[in-house]
Amino acid sequence: MSEFTLIITAAAGISLLLFLVIRTKLHAFVSLLLVSLLVGIAAGLPLDEVIQSIQKGMGETLGFVAIVVGLGAMFGQILEISGGAERLAQTFMKKFGQDKVPWALGVTGFLVGIPVFFDVGFIVLVPIVYRLAKKTGRSLLYYGIPLFAGLSVSHSFIPPTPGPIIVANLIGADLGWVILFGIIAGLPAMVVAGPLFGKYIANYIHVTVPDYMTIEEMEDDQGLPSFGLIITIILVPLALILLNTLSSVLLPEENIIRSVCEFLGHPFVALLITTLLVFYFLGIKHGFSKQEVQLIASKSLEPAGMIILITGAGGIFKQVLMDTGVGNVLADSMANSPLPPIVLAFLIATIIRIAQGSATVAMVTSASLISPLITTLGLTGPILGLMVISIAAGSTIASHVNDSGFWLINRYLGLDVKETLRSWTVMETIISLIGFAIVFFISLLIA
């Protein structure tokens, strides 16, 4: 089959995927699976090999992602149920002082968003925003935007949240580099999109707590876990994974210390250690029975299961593209582009994000499309970590009416559509552009 025909096949497949997700509202997992099947057939792959590609793509992807996302989900669920998020918020607000509460909320969101899904962290912490706004008379956005920015940045940029895990696995990036660059790009993005933009937009949009929302009284913090314990538990997996990456750079391959660091810093081991710590210190020792801890852990896998399936379908799409030769043709085309790969990754993710709304689908599809280019160019090491953040940044941009997060903010803050576009959508776009600008600048330095 000619290269032109393969490119037309790929373009038709991507167009069909967007149509199925946007117009027919077919579930992303089914859409990706169906499009992969049709692209394989249309590209001339024998029928039995199409099935083999599907099995291989799913198996190779989930062999890593299922374990990491599953353990991360358990970690986050126990943190939420134990009151760890509230403890972080209360302590940071006391440390920062009344005048710097938005900064405290931004930092809180940034830390909570690492182990906890965005919507869960939002629902757990938004009552604090309600109480502060009612007490001070300020707009909800003054306190809400910093919190949402912190949650959004870490949820998009920093493992073990699913987004960067998915992209890193599909393009073969080391999670240590992803964490490092995610923090470097994420903190400035959080500051500008959170406390600074929140203060600005609150002067133009004054919103109070919606009548249909109840404000709960502040809980007695005596029953909450300690601040030091929560911080330590959140940092354990990040430190172990970073130590693994650092040892691989500084120590010779046969060094015993490097071997130990590689073992402990592998995401499987690092997250397993963290999850066991969470089960004991935030579960059993915090007053939960063993049965309750088991139920909490099981419940956490419900939303994680859907993310795992979508990720697996993304792996199938990638494998079909490679096996049909479509991936190589796309890679050659992109390699001839005057744009650097990191810019191409950002633009692809941006287009898919704006078109269909889901950040997860944008990440999975973009990583699947860019993966053959990475193989063709032989990219390895830190640049792949930068590519992950670039895709994550593109997948964050311009949240609007086709994104469920848009309506979550709209409903809980009592905003109209125009106000949500002026606040939430702009905040997400600031995060995206600053995050991308930082990783693009770093890529120029290490090129």
Q: What is the pLDDT of residues 118-138, one digit of tens each?
A: 888 888 898 899 989 988 999
Q: Measured between alpha carbons, how far is 314 from 31 in angstroms, rounded to an integer?
A: 10
pLDDT at site 216: 60
Tell me which H or E stretch contains 380: none
Calpha distance 429→58 (Å, rounded): 32
Both tokens of residue 288? Answer: 């939960």
pTM of the model: 0.90
Is the separation of the CB atoms in 237 and 270 below 8 Å?
yes
| Percentage of the chain modeled with pLDDT above 90 | 55
User: Does the structure show a pLDDT above 70 at 184?
Assistant: yes
Rounded to an integer, what distance in angstroms lies between the CA atom of residue 253 and that of residue 257?
Answer: 10
pLDDT at residue 218, as a whole number: 54
Contacts with 357 (C-beta within 8 Å, 6 or more apart), sequence order: 22, 399, 400, 402, 403, 404, 406
Q: Mean pLDDT score of the chain, rounded to an integer?
A: 90
3-state secondary structure of 204: coil
Count of other CB atoms within 10 angstroms of residue 335: 13
Confidence of residue 331 (pLDDT cuts 50, 70, 90): confident
The count of C-alpha atoms lying within 13 angstroms of the C-alpha of 286, restricted to the half-sphere facing its C-beta, is 23
How many CB atoms lie under 10 A from the CB of residue 395?
A: 27
Q: Is residue 170 a contact partner of residue 367, using CB atoms and an 8 Å limit?
A: yes
Domain boundaries, the chain: 68-301+325-446
Model confidence over 339-358: pLDDT tens digits? 999 999 999 999 999 988 88
Which of 34-43, 95-104, 279-288, 320-329 bottoms out in mean pLDDT, i.e. has the lowest?
Answer: 320-329
Higher pLDDT, 350 or 212: 350
Contacts of 195 (CB under 8 A, 6+ apart): 102, 103, 106, 146
Comparing 160-169, 302-311, 371-380, the range with the smallest average pLDDT is 302-311
| DSSP sequence for 109-176 | HHHHTTTS-HHHHHHHHHHHHHHHHHHH---HHHHHHHHHHHHHHHHHHSTTSHHHHHHHHHHT--HH
pLDDT at residue 222, rounded to an integer: 64
| Side chain identity, residue 32 | L
Query: What does the alpha-carbon distance between residue 420 and residue 148 come to, in Å, rounded to a whole number?
Result: 13
Contacts of 74 (CB under 8 A, 6+ apart): 275, 278, 279, 296, 297, 300, 301
Q: Please determine, for residue 110, whether its predicted confidence score (pLDDT) is greater than 90.
A: yes
Residue 404 tokens, joined: 């469920």
Residue 138 CA to residue 334 CA, distance in Å, equals 49
- 219 confidence band (pLDDT: 50, 70, 90): low
CA distance linking residue 17 with residue 15, whole number of Å: 5
Query: 324: pLDDT confidence band, cut at 50, 70 and 90?
Result: confident
Of 394, 391, 400, nearest to 433 by C-alpha is: 394
Contact 148, 216 (CB under 8 A): no
Residue 431 vs residues 165, 230, 416: alpha-carbon distances, Å: 19, 26, 22
pLDDT at 417: 92
Q: What is the pLDDT of residue 337?
A: 84
| CA atoms of 55 and 441, how far apart (whole Å) | 39
Contact 123, 83 (CB under 8 A): no
pLDDT value of residue 214: 65
pLDDT band at 217; cut points 50, 70, 90: low
**Amino acid at the residue 126:** V
